[in-house]
Structure 1
Amino acid sequence: MTESNGSDERDQRDQHEQAAQAGRQERMPDWEKRFRAPRVSLPDWAEDAPDRSLFVSNATGTYELYAWDRSTGEQRQVTDRPNGTTDGVLSPDGAWIWWFDDKDGDEFGVWRRQPFEGGADEPAAAGLEPSYPAGLALGRDGRTAVVGRSTDEDGTTIHLVRTGEEPVEIYRHRESAGVGDLSHDGSLIAVEHTEHGDAMHSALRVLRPDGTAVADLDDTEGGTRELGLEVLGFAPVDGDTRLLIGHQRRGRWEPLVWDVATGEETDLALELPGDVSAEWYPDGSGLLIAHSFEARSELFRYDLSGRALT
């Protein structure tokens, strides 16, 4: 059999299979079609290149990452693994797709990256051995990343990774910890940690890229109180040292703004029943507050200068 004949036969088999699948789909009852319909996540877009998006879909039968260039409408499958891939993030400039490559879904692996337009995968943090992931933050300069790792042997380590350079370890502890966020200008790194020994309630530490400490906040008071903190994100403005965090000081999670340079804390005290969450407006002047209560949700703007909720 010639190569062209073999190719023709494969094409014919593919066509027959597609026709058979279409026939099965046509005969399938509506409830089964709904059950089998592919699922698609909401897209995340690159902060500085919003036309470039990343989403997750199980259109092939397993959940994989897909790139979507909204300026052209082009979509393409980024990953293709037997057990699927769901952990991925776009670099702020939209140039790279980072994805976590574990083995058989055991969450132990390494970060890889692929150009947004497509191409070969490459190690995203060359020099770092496989581990459980412990947070990731990508810099806006396109060449800096903060990578958290966790292993049974080393506990938690956090590394500053720059393109073309060896990773630099900036944090290490036996207890669990993770990367919270990288400031807009790349000068500050927020870490959630449990050095006090209470794995359920994190404290916060802010580091410089060289690993030196800038500020600490610990509502557990050394592990004696069951009050946790979480990182929600630095203000999205160069040189701004305010960090939005979540706290449990009144028995539920609520937002607070902590200036890590001065130590000033701005407690919002929203007096809204139910659950609240927050994120920054792009200019850092206010917060978008999402409020959920009795199966209803509503959005507010909290103005930080006038302390007004609208």
Structure 2
Amino acid sequence: MFFPTGDDKESQPATSSCRHFQFHDILSATDNFDESLVIGNGGFGKVYKGNVMVGSSYVVAAIKRLDTISNQGEAEFWAEVETLSKLRHCNLVSLIGYCNHGQEMILVYEYMSNGTLEDHLHKLGTPLSWLQRLKICIGAGRGLHYLHTGTGIESGVIHRDVKSSNILLHESWAAKISDFGLSKIGPINQPTTYVNTLIKGTFGYLDPDYYATGKLTRKSDVYAFGVVMLELLCRRRALDRSLDEEKMNLARWVQESIKEGNLKHIVDSDIRGEIAQKCLKEFVRIAERCLNINAKQRLTMAQVLVSLENVLILQEKYNNSLQPACRTLLGRMVNMLPFSSKGLNSGISSSS
């Protein structure tokens, strides 16, 4: 990992895909960091929406500025620049460039108009169908699988902070993994290989095995992904301190509910009527295997993806099987209307 000195000319990574912005470019793009342009505020600092010049045209970007009082610092900043400048995948947020100027450390990303998954699930109350949630889950899973396999880079990447606030949504609702400040690079094709590291991450998503031993593996990301799966299913926060102790931790609450035979009751009431029973059981089984207390017994992200794609196929078949019944019911209702004539009825039948 490289740790540049802070001199602009010496701080550029050896990649043509990641642009080094001058500080005056950033000031122009954000109107001198105007508060009205703030679109987010995380552990790193504030995120601004702004227009930056890329090539010969302006593009809308998310501009993340390191807060001087942030827990994250220079090491995390350069980790993110180094990691993302080597990675390109449709389910990873693209890093357009960066700027380091004195104490200023700034990351410039592609702008994701639909914000974070956390916002839609827990703050905005956005209506999300079960099929939408399933596709978001698969998209995020593909991004994480790409990281773990080392495709396109020499080593695989362990994200170390997978959570709903780090899953961003494109205007098409495609899911993209973001925030690589805590990521670690490790050898690929060695699932038992681990990195000894200081414990970092977010409670509620933190792998108990990693927390107990300090041994970070790709299976730690798998655990966190299992928690995100439950968030999508239950529309409950990973850790909600406002709830009773037995309900506070989402993963623990779901696992206890399953043991007690209360599978249906954990599902978000907005989508209970949409999920095929077979799909629900399979989805929960996958999440349970991601959350196995024994890290070695957890699925790999490749296995998770294959299983989730099968769940999607089952759900789409279930949805399609309902449609003919709906059309038949509509036809019967139209035939019962007192004003329907033969001509009118045949017209409606042919278009239904």
Q: Choose between structure 1 and 2 for higher RCO, CA contacts under 8 A separated by at least 6 residues.
A: 2
More helix by share: 2
TM norm structure 1: 0.26
More strand by share: 1
TM norm structure 2: 0.24
